[in-house]
Structure 1
Amino acid sequence: MTTTDSGNHFEPHVVWVEKGGRVNWINESDSHSTTADHPANDEPQLVPDEAATWDSGVLSEQETTFDHPFETEGVYHYYCTPHETGGMTGSVIVGQPDPDTRPALEELPSEKSEIVRKKLTDLNDTVRGVLDDHRSGEDEHDNDDDHDH
């Protein structure tokens, strides 16, 4: 989580972990949070149905960390509470989710601002690209295995 001349952002914007993996956010500058887009946080649900929610609270000290485990396969969108209106959002991909059955990748919530909706559209495009690339690699690998038998 950082503030630069170009604005506030999560770096990287999209991360991929295996089911049961953890993500550790580090506040590098300014005051930021990592907060799941989830009804428990008064937001529309942009995480898997069974997923545990999280909210780090605002982290103001540099190098403060927040860690969260991801036990449910899927795509999770999250945001920074103080900077969401400026588009400070990110995504976590967990496991090998089917992009066609994920709440985060469905129609964007109308209650989000235009800036946030644009950022979520960009994140969704990136997530779909990562998942497509991974599936293509698996298909090629599967086809190679078929030829070896």
Structure 2
Amino acid sequence: MKRRAFVRGGGTVAVGGLAGLAGCSAPTGDGGGGEGTTGGGTATGEGGTATEGGAATTTGGAQGGTQQVAMITEGSEYYFDPIGLFVEPGTTVEWVIESGSHSSTAYAESLDSADVTRIPEQAEPWNSGILTEQGASFSYTFEVTGTYDYFCLPHKALGMIARIVCGEPGDVEGDPPDGDVPSEQAIVNQGTISYEEFGSG
């Protein structure tokens, strides 16, 4: 099994109209997955590669290409957008800080930051560590089919969680312990479910 993970720092990526919103506080420490205070950290798991200054490439496999997920603080709301995403095996997902300080962290007991595992058994877990710079990003290439639930380290208790289905649903039942996410079948049917769409549904 091969997968690539990258962390990239920098403030040159703009993702949408909320980029000017105020950030949120992040706890100190490395969040269990790498240094996140400057947007450059160490990706966990076999095959992880970290870079700073925007030098990383995030090209996915032949089938998948690259998809982006924004990490957003908006007032008292903290969320991933889209909250539900369908990808084919070989797709790289790049999480980008639009506002605030966030992480992308798999529900995997092996990371010491989750009490349950909610990713496929054969998949490598990931943890970006806490990224603080606007435009900082972290990428992970999905190779194993199934359902992946993930969260933000500082905002998990506030419901900042999301779901990715790679290829076909599988390996999880119901919602993660920290909140609601779109159903696997809804994600497969729609391809992408925005945070706003899910919240108003």
Q: Same fold (TM over 0.5)?
A: yes
Out of 113, 130, 134, the position equivalent to 1:62 is 134
Superposition pairs of residues 1-149 of structure 1, within 5 angstroms: 1-42=71-112, 43=114, 44-97=116-169, 102-104=170-172, 106=173, 112=177, 116=178, 119-120=179-180, 123-125=181-183, 127-131=184-188, 133=189
TM-fit CA distance, 1:129: 2.1
Inter-partner Cα distance in structure 2 for 1:90 and 1:45: 14
Q: Deviations over 1:25-59 (max 9, x none)?
A: 00111110000000122221100010111000000
Inter-partner Cα distance in structure 2 for 1:85 and 1:41: 17
Runs of 4+ in 1 over 3 A off after TM superposition: none
Please report the RMSD computed on the Cα atoms of aligned residues, expressed in angstroms: 1.7
Inter-partner Cα distance in structure 1 for 2:182 and 2:82: 14
TM-fit CA distance, 1:96: 2.5
**Alignment-mate amino acid for residue 11 of structure 1:** D
Identity %: 35
- TM-score computed with the length of structure 1 as normaliser: 0.73
Inter-partner Cα distance in structure 1 for 2:147 and 2:101: 25
Residues 146 and 165 in structure 2, CA contact (< 8 A), matched pair in contact too: yes
Residues 85 and 187 in structure 2, CA contact (< 8 A), matched pair in contact too: no
Inter-partner Cα distance in structure 2 for 1:108 and 1:12: 16
Larger Cα-atom Rg: 1
Inter-partner Cα distance in structure 1 for 2:153 and 2:88: 26
TM-fit CA distance, 1:80: 0.0
TM-fit CA distance, 1:6: 5.0
Count how many residue pairs are aligned between Structure 1 and Structure 2.
118
SS in 2 for 1:82: helix
- TM-score computed with the length of structure 2 as normaliser: 0.55
TM-fit CA distance, 1:70: 0.5
**Alignment-mate amino acid for residue 136 of structure 2:** T
Pair 10,107 (structure 1): closer, same or farther in 2 beyond 3 Å: closer
Q: Which has the higher helix share?
A: 1
Alignment match, 1:139: none
**Alignment-mate amino acid for residue 78 of structure 1:** Y
Pair 65,93 (structure 1): closer, same or farther in 2 beyond 3 Å: same
